[in-house]
Amino acid sequence: MSADAYHDRSGTLADLSAKIRPWLRSARWFPGKDRGAERVRVIDLLEMPGTGALAVALVASGDSVLVVPVDPLTGLDAAAEPALAAAIATLALGGGAVTGLHGSLVGRPIAPRRPGDGAPRARLAFPAAELRVRALGGDASNTSLVIDGGGAAEDAAVLKLLRQARPGIHPEVEFGRFFATSTDWRGTPELYGWVEYVPVDPDGDRAAVATLHAFEPGCQSAWDVFCGWLADGGLDGVHQTRILELARHLGTATARMHGALASRDDDPDFALEPATAAGRRALGLRLATHARTVFSAAALAASPPSSALAPRLSRLAARLKGICAELESLADAGTTAADIRVHGDYHLGQVLVDSSAERVMPIDFEGEPTRPLDERRRKTSAAKDVAGMLRSFDYCAAHVARLHGLERGDPAPLVHAFLDTYRRGAAGTRWWPADADEERRLLAAFTLDKAVYELAYELANRPDWVEVPLGALERLTGG
């Protein structure tokens, strides 16, 4: 590229940066609403063929690099534009590359594990004349789109735009590839392929920017199902039996998921790691360090959601020493349960439920979005996922009460139903504690850690929700 052409392109990037800047901070997936988006800079622009100049922009904002499908003429987000969504999906499904100024978008299709295993994949096509694209959900740190090429429902696919381009191995890709090629577990929608950004610099870091999964027609999130049933009479209404039965199905499915994740001792990235006293001590220290970071004066003083909550946050911060002591008590937990790879951000919104409410499918294996990738990939106790689901039942009860002006229900029956079938599915395995005190300590620590994480997340992203983790932490710490 000539010097003149480089300067022309650089001017285009600067102009596009100015167009993107005004709306970026209001995007649901913008990381951390507690900081501004003043330092917005487009660092690469990759025009997708066959889209009429629509492109994928990599946008630097603070210490994040964001993935922004964009119309360069307006600077507006173009994720739901059918031609652009189809172009990204086709790249993931068929391979190839699209080159930009500093790197390329490269498609990485996944070969089926057995002959015939991926037969439906061959029928996938996205003809422009019949293409339909619709958003899937709206309250997420990424953007998921259903792409329908006009054929049967089972031939549709879900394109997930990973809004933060994080360097390294992305868990969503790693888990999807592992399930599709190394296990017989089919309890989650199959990963067809992904798209990653590959910089021109051979020493630069690659980053996944999109995944393409099979679409499961007729499904809802477990969050929507539970919230709907709880609002319609709750555990004392007509849905009582169905609610508890679904919680039991969820417990069984979670145990099977963990069984699949612990099934390959020949794969070093997924092989079980025996627990040790030193490992338990290190885990407790990590959780306590996380709590100290969240409860630092700066974190809790940043734009408190209301004057009414500020004193409660201060009182909770005063109990930090006790919180850390509880987390560090993991040093005294037993070591009968090995560490495994876990979902990492397990809650009701990360599970699909079919129309019969009998089949449940965990999805979205990328881990907690604000944690570093290396931390998300670290093996740990399966209790982390179990505790995440227990916290989600609490969130669900609180949400229904707030939305419908009802008295807050007690999620304990859901918790017991879920735990009962999970324990049955996990009994006798190498990855679930054989000792009751070890199980209690692990669940207590991870439940407390999850509530601390939720508090930090809500303070930064959804101030109206701070009451939920704050109330949980007050209960968990005796407040």
> pLDDT tens digits for the chain (479 residues)?
333 333 345 568 999 999 999 999 888 888 865 555 567 899 999 999 999 999 999 999 888 899 999 999 999 999 989 999 999 999 998 899 999 999 999 999 997 655 444 444 444 666 555 678 888 876 578 899 999 866 656 678 999 999 999 998 899 999 999 999 999 999 999 999 999 999 999 888 899 999 999 999 989 999 999 999 998 877 776 678 899 999 999 999 999 999 999 999 999 999 999 999 999 999 999 999 999 999 885 455 545 556 678 888 888 988 999 999 999 999 999 999 999 999 999 999 999 999 998 899 999 999 887 788 888 999 999 999 999 999 999 999 999 998 888 888 889 999 999 999 999 999 999 999 999 999 999 999 999 999 999 998 888 878 888 999 999 999 999 86
Residue given tokens 């417990």 in the structure block: 251
Q: CA separation (Å) from 307 to 34, 215, 310, 312, 314?
A: 17, 45, 5, 9, 11
pLDDT of 130:
65
pLDDT of 68:
96
Query: Can you list the alpha helix ranges (DSSP code H) found in 201-319?
Result: 222-231, 240-261, 277-294, 297-301, 309-317
User: Which letter, b or e, does each residue of 179-213 get, where b requires 16 or more Cβ atoms within 10 Å of its Cβ?
Assistant: bbebbeeebbbbbbbbbbbbbeeeeeebbbbbbbb
In this structure, what DSSP letter does residue 159 have? Answer: E
β-sheet with 360-362: strand ranges across: 220-221, 351-353, 360-362
Q: Check: pTM over 0.95? Answer yes or no.
A: no
Say how far apart CA 448 and CA 335 lie, in whole Å: 20
pLDDT of 416:
97
Q: CA separation (Å) from 30 to 26, 35, 115, 127, 408?
A: 7, 10, 41, 32, 31
3-state secondary structure of 239: coil
pLDDT of 120:
43
β-sheet with 97-99: strand ranges across: 97-99, 103-109, 191-199, 207-214, 157-161, 143-148, 132-135
Q: Are 390 and 446 in contact (CB under 8 A)?
A: no
**DSSP bridge pairs for 210:** 161, 195
Two structure tokens written together for 465: 């929700």
pLDDT of 407:
83
Q: Rounded to 5 degrees, what are φ and ψ at 226? A: -65, -45
Domains and CATH numbers, the chain: 3-214 (no CATH), 220-476 (3.90.1200.10)
pLDDT of 138:
61
Q: CA separation (Å) from 276 to 168, 270, 279, 387, 442?
A: 28, 18, 5, 21, 14
**DSSP bridge pairs for 118:** none
Say how far apart CA 128 and CA 82 lie, in whole Å: 8
- Residues 6 or more apart whose CB falls under 8 angstroms from that of 338 comprise 262, 272, 273, 274, 275, 430, 431
CB burial class (10 A; 0-12, 13-18, 19+) of residue 441? Answer: buried
